[in-house]
Amino acid sequence: MNAIFMKTRILVILFFSYSIFCFSHEYRNLLQNQADFSFLKRSLILNQNWVSYPDYLDRKGWDQLTGDFKTEIIKRGEESLNYEWKVVKLTDYLEFERSGSRQVMETPYNSNITALSNLIYAELAEGKGRFMDQIINGVWTCCEMTSWALSAHLPAFQSSGRSLPHIEEQVIDLTAGDLGSLLSWTWYFFRNEMHKIDPVVSIRLRDELQRRILDPYMERSDFWWQAFYALPQTMVNNWNPWCNFNVLTCFLLLENDQNKLAKAVYRTMVSVDKFINYTHGDGACEEGTGYWGHAAGKMYDYLQLLSDATGNKITIFDNPLIKSMGEYIVNSYIGENWVVNFADASPKGGGDPGLIFRYGKAVKSNDMIGFASYLHNINNKKSYYDASRDIYRTLENLKYYSQLITTQPFFSPIYHVWYPETELCYMRNKSGFFFAAKGGHNAESHNHNDIGSFLLYYENQPLFIDVGVGTYTRQTFSEERYSIWTMQSDYHNIPKINGKSQKEGVNYRSKDVKYIESKNQFSLDISQAYPQDADIEFWRRTYTLNIRGGLEIEDKFVLKKVHEFNRIHFMSIIKPDVSLPGKAIFEINEKQIQLSYPKEQFTPEIEEIILDDPRLFRTWGNVVYRLMLVAKEKKRTGDYKFSIVPL
């Protein structure tokens, strides 16, 4: 068993820190170039004097900060006044190994964190001590846990390679960091109130935060997300800014020794520089729009917190790359809360208006500021308050709320967006189509085998889609990843060539990528995304979005040898009518969209795919469809043409 999970551990690490990557880091080191250790040490504001929120006893201050949300905040806390704190059992951790389920362990754990978060906000809003007993119950429950990390993440960081936490190996993962940050704010706001109940509570909490967060971060350099030893090829994804933000929060709230604090903060700066270095100069989020809030968004929170703690002496918000990373969320918005999605990212949700607004203010982006107000308004001004476990993000959003609601809503769809290094292309036309396609390689963070795939929306509704990813399990981040159908190229809008599907790995990538704005055209050679035994000389796919018409797709190819019939795939949430040869009709928004194909070259087949995964079901409903155009002839050379137009 140990050998098996050591293998899993290695695979998980490789997935997140792929060490053979085609784009080298650009060693910008923006933070380190902004401030060396001595300057940082002189600039840090000590003793939490950087905190801009009211003290717990400042009732007027909390009334002003919570504003219109005070009643809602207290009501949510009241719902947890009789909450029964859940024990995460030993077998809950082992379930990850036994069945691959993450939810068995995560569901009770996340339930506890949600209840604790609601209680904390309610007590801050009301200030009468009514929620304190339940808060310390929650704090004590957390302190009694062996680890704050998730069962799914422990194998990558523990020497045992197992999912059961070891008391002598404290792991900082996303959730351990989130809880550490939450509890650090709890200690900051309520330590005196806890002390009145029993000094042991606040003392225990402070000791646990030292043992679980502060010490491991300074003593260990082998958390892959720290990226201290990143090679030019090493992947650095959203874990880096997310975990470093949490660690920075803990140190700033808990450590008052100037030298120790400066060493810790500088260490986070070195680490976050690795993420910024890894990010392409075009600013696109490789992981997809749905991860923007965890990647660029968490980087922003980190940078803002660092700026706060140094009296704005250490700030890189004027750097064009940081602004481009922020504006990606605006550019990737399709409409009606649909966003561009590739790989594991979700297609739903335009982002957190408060976060986008604050980021936009920091980088002076009117597009982001107006878009944040636009999002808030189209969602009927609901759900702005989020009782997040991230207290900093929640309180900052509350602090900026009055500015957000007095900002003129603004979103002007851009007709052409091109990210040349990430190889993402977005285009719109006057007929109501939104198109997106990608190049890149098949070892990106949260990768699917999808080189050359595209999305097509009509009047802000999905027509041809990327299905995304189902509920995470052990298989999702293991050697079994590409046995999952949603990861495979056959379930993306790309061809199966000569009987072969695309392969995962950095060497499987696009070639000769071209974007011609004047022609509304994106093209690439996808031959290298397939294995050698596909015997492809070249396969050039060209997309042309007509200004007032539809989408034209052309596949020109030459094969070295011919083995099997080619298949062209189209994924949709709409079942097409293929009763007429050469035509597939899709009904959308009470209108018809026609996909035309050469009837003499292809036979259509339709596969109905039932979605029984909750994550996929919530997005697409209970079924999606795969239209397969199967070539009638095995040909060594060919030129396939398809058109998609409204009728």
pLDDT band at 226 (very low <50, low <70, confident <90, very high): very high
Give the side-chain half-sphere CA count within 13 A for 227: 31
Query: How many C-beta neighbours within 10 Å does residue 222 have?
Result: 9
- Does the pLDDT at position 3 exceed 80? no
Distance CA 76, CA 67 (A): 15
Does one domain contain both 382 and 473? Answer: no
Quick one: pLDDT band at residue 404, thresholds 50, 70, 90? Answer: very high
Q: Check residue 442 and give its pLDDT.
A: 95
The whole-number average pLDDT for the span 194-202 is 97
Res. 170 pLDDT band, cuts 50 70 90: very high
3-state SS, residue 8: helix
Q: Among 568, 581, 595, which residue's Cα sits nearest to residue 501?
A: 568
Question: Which of 7-16, 60-69, 519-528, 610-619 shows the lowest mean pLDDT across its residues?
Answer: 7-16
Chain-centroid distance of CA 57 in Å reads 37
Least confident of 225-234, 361-370, 513-522: 225-234
pLDDT for residue 544? 98
Residue 507 forms part of a structural domain: yes
Q: Do residues 338 and 449 both lie within one domain?
A: no
The pTM score is 0.94
Residues 346 and 423 in one domain: no
Decide if 377 is inside a domain: yes
Paired strand residues for 638: 557
547 and 432 within one domain: yes
Listed in sequence order, the DSSP H helices in 35-160 are: 37-43, 59-66, 70-78, 90-98, 103-126, 132-143, 154-157
69-81 residues labelled b (16+ CB within 10 A) or e (exposed)? bbebbbebbeebe
For the cut 80, the answer to whether the pLDDT of residue 8 exceeds it is no
Residues 385 and 465 in one domain: no
- From 412, 438, 460, give the residue that closes a domain: 412
Listed residues 380, 412, 444: the one ending a domain: 412
* Assigned domain for 176 exists: no
Q: Is the pLDDT of residue 143 over 80?
A: yes
Q: Are 529 and 551 contained in the same domain?
A: yes
Cβ–Cβ under 8 Å, residues 29 and 294:
no
pLDDT at position 349 is 87
Segments forming the whole domain that contains residue 367: 279-292+309-412
Alpha helices (H) along 152-295 = 154-157, 174-197, 199-209, 215-219, 239-254, 258-278
Residue 468 domain-assigned?
Answer: yes
Q: What average pLDDT does this structure show over 14-24?
A: 42
Report which DSSP code applies to 476: G
- Over the Cα atoms of the chain, what is R_g? 26
pLDDT exceeds 70 at position 422: yes
Mean pLDDT across the chain: 94
Residue 157 counted as domain residue: no
Specify the pLDDT at position 382.
64
Q: How confident is the model at residue 232 (pLDDT cuts 50, 70, 90)?
A: confident
In a domain, 463, yes or no: yes
The residue from 362, 391, 412 where one domain ends is: 412
Q: pLDDT digit string (tens) for 469-505? A: 999 999 998 999 999 999 999 999 999 999 999 999 9
The tally of domains found in the chain comes to: 2
The answer to whether residues 380 and 524 belong to one domain is no
The per-residue pLDDT for range 39-75, each reduced to its tens digit, is 999 999 999 999 999 999 999 999 999 999 999 999 9
Kindly state whether residue 599 falls inside one of the protein's structural domains: yes
Give the pLDDT score at 152. Answer: 97
Q: Is the pLDDT of residue 622 over 90?
A: yes
* Whether 535 and 581 share a structural domain: yes
Share of the chain above pLDDT 70, in %: 96
Q: Report phi then psi at 558, rounded to 5.
A: -135, 125
| 458 shares a domain with 495 | yes
- Asked if pLDDT for residue 19 goes beyond 80, the answer is no
**For range 560-574, the mean pLDDT:** 98
**What is the token pair recorded at 186?**
């709890």
* CATH classification at residue 603: 2.70.98.70
Query: What mean pLDDT do residues 417-423 have?
Result: 97
Assess whether 390 and 437 both reside in one domain.
no
State residue 386's pLDDT score: 86
Rounded to an integer, the average pLDDT of 354-358 is 97
> Do 358 and 427 belong to one domain?
no
Q: Do 301 and 393 touch, CB atoms closer than 8 A?
A: yes
Closest CA to 420 of 510, 555, 529, 318: 510
490 lies in the same domain as 533: yes
Query: Is 545's pLDDT higher than 80?
Result: yes
Report yes or no on 268 lying in a domain.
no
Reduced to 3 states, what is the DSSP secondary structure of residue 112?
helix
On the question of pLDDT at 9 being above 50, the answer is no
Q: Does residue 410 have a pLDDT over 90? A: yes
Question: What would the pLDDT profile of 368-390 be if each residue is shown by its tens digit?
Answer: 999 999 999 998 766 688 889 99
Mean local confidence (pLDDT), 339-355: 93
pLDDT at 350: 85
